Structure 1
Amino acid sequence: MAFIIPCLDKSPRFGSNCFIAPNAAVVGDVIMGDECSVWFNAVVRGDVNHIKLGNRVNVQDGAVIHCTYQKNATEIGNNVSIGHNAIVHGCTIEDDVLIGMGAIVMDRCIIKSNSIVAAGAIVLEGTVVESGSIYAGIPAKKVKDISTDSIHGEIERIAKNYTKYSSWFSEYNAAK
């Protein structure tokens, strides 16, 4: 069974059709929209501040979503994919974004809509990732502009796929 744990009188809240893997942890002041998924060994830890996920957010295997005590909450929009082993900490991620595998997004970053943070990138504190762009490297820098249609199509495809994958595990639906 998933680790769904209250902290300081705040319990995670889930929209409809959310999948939480049996060994994932969702803690404290966390609000998830509809059709979200938190995969194996992933952690969404809203113990020191709040975390809000929109609709169709997938937090893939081993990823960590956290926030900063009394300073930086974490807010994630709709149709967002957080890749395997990524770290998202005390930042804002707008709609239609892909955070690649192993990427790190640090405090006070703003990841604008229709953008990609490449696998392994480290987005330093306070960075604003431009809409319609790909950021890569250490530290992450803009490497490419891409069309909003192209980027939106790929991001939408991944979000829809993860909604489909989570339906395969309906017996673990967090809304039960």
Structure 2
Amino acid sequence: MGTAFYSFARGLVATVFTPLYRVKVVGKENIPKEGGVLICSNHIHNFDPPIVGISCPRPIRFMAKEEIFRVPVFGKVIKNLNAFPVKRGMSDREALRTGLKVLKDGEVLGLFPEGTRSKTGKLGKGLAGAGFFALRTDAAVVPCAIVGEYKPFKQIKVFYGKPLKMDELRKNKVSAEETTDFIMNEISQLIEKNL
């Protein structure tokens, strides 16, 4: 993991974004200090990944749509930030394998289960990938809610909920889709509680 570049980029983004969007983080202590962690967040803006990246105390590996990696310069930057591509609209086995490895290696995987940015700001339906990772690993599953508007000097708040209890779901062999619905419901409650 290119930790030196990640730390540099994180520091740079934090220096700009924290005062610009008056970023407030609540519940950081809910992210386990070690072991695999799956962070699942709502997606309201293109700046969500850097905001989650600077608010999480541990380095995050994001799964990002493949098209981004083709953007000149920017694609190279996010690759150096340890993001990895996923093809949208199909089951991308390579991306699933990479995600499982990240979690099994005790790292933090960042996901936006909706798969795309919400045009309305309302929480959409989550894709099965989040449930797949939650069921196939022992990673702690931490719901995350980003609340606010990305307008200069308006406040953006990031809320991390307590790790979700997944044992029952794993034991009862609940489907990946239903598990994602459970995760999305927790994100929805976090948003509603903090609006």
With the length of structure 1 as denominator, give the TM-score of the two structures: 0.27
Larger radius of gyration: 2
**Which has the larger share of helix?**
2
Q: Which has the higher contact order (CA 8 A, sep 6+)?
A: 2
With the length of structure 2 as denominator, give the TM-score of the two structures: 0.25
